[in-house]
Amino acid sequence: MAKPNTYYVCSNCGKRSTAYMGRCPQCHEFGTMEQVTEQRETGAAARNVAPSGTRTTPQRLREVETGPESRMAVPVEEFSRVMGGGIVPGSITLIAGDPGIGKCLVGSTRVLNPLTGAYLPITHWAQEKMPVLSIDDQTFQLKPGQATHFFERGLQDVVEVRTQLGRTLRCTPTHPVLTPDGWKPVRELAAGSYIAAPRSLSYFGQDVMPDAEVKLIGYILSDGSAQSSICVTSAIPEVASDLATIATAFGMQLHCYDKKGTLAKQFRFVNDVQQRAQHRSDFATALNQAKRQAGISWAEWSRRANVDYALLRVWHKGETVPDADAFERLVAAVGISPDELASTARSAAELTTPIARFLEKMGLRYSKAANKTVPECIFRLPREQMALFLKTLFTCDGSVYVSNAENAGISYSTISRRLAEDVQHLLLRFGFVVTLRHKPMQVNGTPYSAYELVLLGTSQVQRFLAEIGIMGRESACEQIRAMNAATASSTRRDLIPLTPYFWDHLHKLKGEMSFKTLSSKSDVRIFDRRHERPLCRSTIQKLATYFADPYLATLGDSDVYWDQIQSITPAGCEAVYDISVAEHPNFVANDLIVHNSTLLLQLAAIIADTVGKVLYVSGEESTRQIKMRAERLSIQSDELFLVTETSLEAILEHAQAVNPKILIVDSIQTTFSDDKPSSAGTVTQVRECAARLQMLAKSTGIGVFLVGHVTKEGTIAGPRVLEHIVDTVLYLEGDSFHAYRLLRSVKNRFGATNEVGVFEMRGSGLAEVTNPSEVFLAERVVNASGSSILVTMEGTRPLLVEVQALASATSYPNPRRTANGVDFNRLQLLTAVLTRRVGLRLSEQDVFVNVIGGMTVDEPAADLAIAVSIASSVWDVPVPADLAIVGEVGLSGELRAVSQLPSRLKEAAKLGFKRVIVPKTTRPGDPLPGGIQVIAVRSLMDALNIAMPKEREKK
């Protein structure tokens, strides 16, 4: 009989508890305990239930068949090293890595929430994983997608991408954007390259505001001022009528003043003095009545409400009224409702006018013209009210015209770039793709910058006048409405860059038909000799209609506008962020389309070519996206099978049908089992899916690779039980500032742990680095103080890396200690030893230590190299270029033994080093290599005397 079994599991560390706890007792995180309910069989039924997968029977050890090969050899030396010599059949490996290493955007990048219409900086996704807009690269249609993870990447070098439409994107050079040839990092592009942008963002909010408030914001952002007095200047009669309506809605009066030498008038919002006096009297009456009902004295009320007695006295005399905070305390002190104390009268009697208070709330009070921005509430308006807001803006700061080419245009000008970008985005909500231009200008001989939005095309302007409109300028509007859009000249704006595939496809469709005949029949102008030029969208749409071809229809009706890069320039160093999106790993940011597991794809192709079939299951990317990435990496293999699937049951069926040698599941956090009611990524689902895939591996001999997500803290997402289930845990790590990635084995039942493989990130993918020591020392500056060469061990591999230190005098009482690539506490210990045992005055100096190449060294054998680098920087004496160093430093300044010394010495000798300083207590064991002098010393002081002898004495 089945009984429900309920318990709670921490989603962060996997801690299981029978009682709910607000804070996990193991990892101490709040709000991570999730309830899990399972049906548990009891009695005889529980003993007879077979586990998932194929049942096995016990065998004697000598009867177990191991097969002709115990491992599947992979011709990638760095990967085989980490795996312990190859892939063990039936093993299950978890490979985790930061999916967005280097692919980041600055914090000011704004992202659209398609459900609410909010347009917010990307950092808002840290608090809540809100929806975003992403593109389906099969249909090229935009649709909402759910953000699943938020990543903080720290400070990184960024570049600014500026496009022909005037849009900007500040990102790391490795961040991919969509091009006609697929996703490419920004650093591989140049001026003139086409990148994808949305043609339309037809998503609006539902937060309705009074029309008077919407119009007021529009007028203040254009011809208005919100300084000491709040006013709007205009010569348009419709604007005067609007402003009178706004004044009435806020309970204020509108005063009109003439402006000398112009037809424009200034309209100022003011309070009615008599009405304000009456409101103060009404509030005083309500205050006195409330006192009598409460039966307390003024002094007692003053004490309870924590307000000054003298102020309370002038309030009940009707001379002034309290502010909002004091009013709330008065109400709470006697337990009455705000209405009983005439809250409306108090608000109307305040010295600050209702319009001023509203503009303060919107962040527009006292705003300067160059710093104006659209308030966040405008982005969440419904379509009709957003159109009303834009109509107000364009009425004041816009213009409508007909060009010499008999084509209509409309423009909007401002001196605030942020305001221009906001309006450009709002117009995109209506499907208007406008260009933002920078216009240097002068007023009275003083230069300043203006920003102009331009919309060209008779049909587009006619649609603008119909959907949004503009007040005034009636003659120009009537002229444009009467124009024939079909006969207007082309603006050559909405162009589609074409790939060789397009022309091959078109040649197949037309067959023997000439391009001249095709142009005549399809009502287009197309020539065979213009392959490198883009075509107008309308031309491709007509071709799609003529041939009834789905590919051409997808191309012509896509949601992509192909913008061109104008410039890519370095933009300094900033804190950067990224988000992961379910289903389609991309999203719209700053009105451009940007991307958010190349190693496994390359590995899958190699294994497929050398070992046998590989099934690559992706839960995050479509097969077309993987194919595009494979083409960029020049991957082609008939034995590599792709499928997009997240259902575990379907994945097991695919594995049974294909019968691969290797199964790759990308990722385990997106996989779910129909047997469990919880959603993908929860503790229950991750544990169940991993356990059943483990059973598949053990029962069939298929090698299974699971891709795991990484949290922003750098740990594998999901329960810790996931790492216990698998045989091997690999971690792809690397410094985002460098091109090198380290594949580290954190756990390996079939090989050494902490083994590393080194790869270099290139445009063609990850390339193995067979001699990492040589690479890490390639850019070393010889005879530079503060630098030494460390011989470290990563697993069984010796590596030579450069350790740099910088000691700089500080005027602060607490000097800084900064460690990059070494343990911070170890650095603190070494600075204390150098101060006490060597006599360096490090209490007066900031100390910075860095391991070159993005390496992280955590073994104690690095102590001596770190200490020598610090001393070299303090004394400003270089360490000899042919000297390598290894040794652990004790608290007494003594040097302690290190392991695997022969391997370290062989690596140093191979790279041309002539001398190595080692602890005297180290016993080499194996014979030492020739051609290198081993200098054994007992203390840190002895090592420093050898590394910097005579030069140090001179200092």
Least-confidence region, from 233-242, 639-648, 793-802: 793-802
DSSP-derived letter for residue 777 is T
Please tell me which of 119-128, 132-141, 763-772 the model is most confident about, judged by mean pLDDT: 119-128
Strand pairing report for 728-733 and 740-748:
antiparallel
Residue 637, Cβ density class (10 Å: 0-12 exposed, 13-18 middle, ≥19 buried): middle
Least-confidence region, from 446-455, 518-527, 545-554, 565-574: 518-527
Q: Are 588 and 132 in contact (CB under 8 A)?
A: yes
pLDDT above 50: residue 115: yes
Q: What are residue 69's phi and psi, to 5 degrees?
A: -130, 130
| pLDDT tens profile 825-860 | 999 999 999 999 998 989 889 999 998 876 788 889
pLDDT at 455: 93
pLDDT at 42: 45
Which residue did the predictor score with more confidence, 911 or 925? 911
User: What six digits make up the tokens of 679?
Assistant: 């959603």
Distance CA 683, CA 675 (A): 14
pLDDT at 594: 67
| Cβ neighbours of residue 297 closer than 8 Å, sequence gap 6 or more | none
pLDDT at 247: 93
Residue 139, Cβ density class (10 Å: 0-12 exposed, 13-18 middle, ≥19 buried): middle
pTM of the model: 0.60
DSSP E strands: which ranges in 526-632?
535-536, 560-581, 586-589, 592-595, 614-618
Provide mean pLDDT across the span 98-117: 80
Q: Whose CA is closest to 163, among 436, 570, 572? A: 436
Name the CA radius of gyration of the chain, rounded. 35
pLDDT above 90: residue 19: no
pLDDT at 120: 95
pLDDT at 99: 47
Distance CA 518, CA 535 (A): 15
| pLDDT tens profile 673-712 | 888 877 777 778 888 898 899 899 888 889 898 887 665 4
pLDDT at 262: 82
Distance CA 693, CA 650 (A): 12
pLDDT category of residue 535 using cuts at 50, 70 and 90: confident
DSSP-derived letter for residue 837 is I
| pLDDT tens profile 303-348 | 998 988 888 888 888 888 888 888 889 988 888 888 888 888 787 7
Distance CA 786, CA 850 (A): 10
pLDDT above 70: residue 457: yes
Q: Whose CA is closest to 620, among 570, 580, 661? A: 580
Distance CA 937, CA 935 (A): 6
CB neighbourhood size of 878 (10 A): 19
Q: Are 262 and 235 in contact (CB under 8 A)?
A: yes
Q: Whose CA is closest to 391, among 199, 165, 219, 202? A: 219
User: What six digits make up the tokens of 702?
Assistant: 């298929």
Provide mean pLDDT across the span 768-789: 76
pLDDT at 494: 83
DSSP E strands: which ranges in 560-712?
560-581, 586-589, 592-595, 614-618, 640-644, 662-666, 703-708
Q: Which residues pair with 71 in a beta bridge?
A: none
Strand order across the 92-97 sheet: 640-644, 614-618, 662-666, 703-708, 92-97, 728-733, 740-748, 756-762, 765-768
Distance CA 508, CA 112 (A): 40
Q: Are 551 and 141 in contact (CB under 8 A)?
A: no
Q: What average pLDDT is seen over the chain?
A: 82
Q: Are 806 and 873 in contact (CB under 8 A)?
A: yes
Distance CA 879, CA 951 (A): 10
Q: How far is CA 62 from CA 57, 58, 59, 65, 66, in A?
A: 15, 12, 8, 8, 10
Provide mean pLDDT across the span 446-464: 90
Q: Whose CA is closest to 104, among 64, 158, 167, 144? A: 158
Distance CA 148, CA 712 (A): 12
pLDDT at 829: 93
Q: What are residue 455's phi and psi, to 5 degrees?
A: -120, 120
DSSP E strands: which ranges in 444-529?
446-456, 495-496
Q: Which residues pair with 888 in a beta bridge?
A: 896
Of all residues in the chain, what percent carry a pLDDT higher than 70?
82
Distance CA 835, CA 843 (A): 8
pLDDT at 452: 94
Provide mean pLDDT across the span 586-613: 74
Which residue did the predictor score with more confidence, 478 or 751? 478
pLDDT category of residue 39 using cuts at 50, 70 and 90: low
Distance CA 620, CA 605 (A): 19
Provide mean pLDDT across the span 209-224: 94
Distance CA 855, CA 105 (A): 24
Which residue did the predictor score with more confidence, 236 or 150? 236
| Cβ neighbours of residue 345 closer than 8 Å, sequence gap 6 or more | 279, 280, 282, 283, 286, 321
Q: Are 254 and 280 in contact (CB under 8 A)?
A: no
Q: How far is CA 947 from CA 576, 804, 889, in A?
A: 41, 15, 16
Distance CA 531, CA 507 (A): 12
| pLDDT tens profile 57-94 | 565 556 655 544 467 777 677 777 777 777 888 888 87
Residue with tokens 């015209």, as numbered in its chain: 401
pLDDT above 80: residue 460: yes
Residue with tokens 């980041």, as numbered in its chain: 104
pLDDT category of residue 26 using cuts at 50, 70 and 90: low
| Cβ neighbours of residue 776 closer than 8 Å, sequence gap 6 or more | 799, 800, 801, 802, 852, 853, 855
Q: Are 759 and 740 in contact (CB under 8 A)?
A: yes
Residue 855, Cβ density class (10 Å: 0-12 exposed, 13-18 middle, ≥19 buried): buried
pLDDT at 565: 94
3-state secondary structure of 823: coil
> What's the CA angle centered on 612, arms 606 and 618, to 5 degrees?
70
Q: Are 584 and 145 in contact (CB under 8 A)?
A: yes
pLDDT at 737: 39
pLDDT at 566: 94
Q: Which residues pair with 408 in a beta bridge?
A: 402
Provide mean pLDDT across the span 911-940: 82
Q: Are 670 and 642 in contact (CB under 8 A)?
A: no
Q: What are residue 532's phi and psi, to 5 degrees?
A: -85, -5
Provide mean pLDDT across the span 134-151: 81
Q: Whose CA is closest to 615, among 689, 665, 567? A: 665
Distance CA 590, CA 108 (A): 9
User: What six digits make up the tokens of 369?
Assistant: 């013209």
Which residue did the predictor score with more confidence, 483 or 527? 483
pLDDT at 153: 67
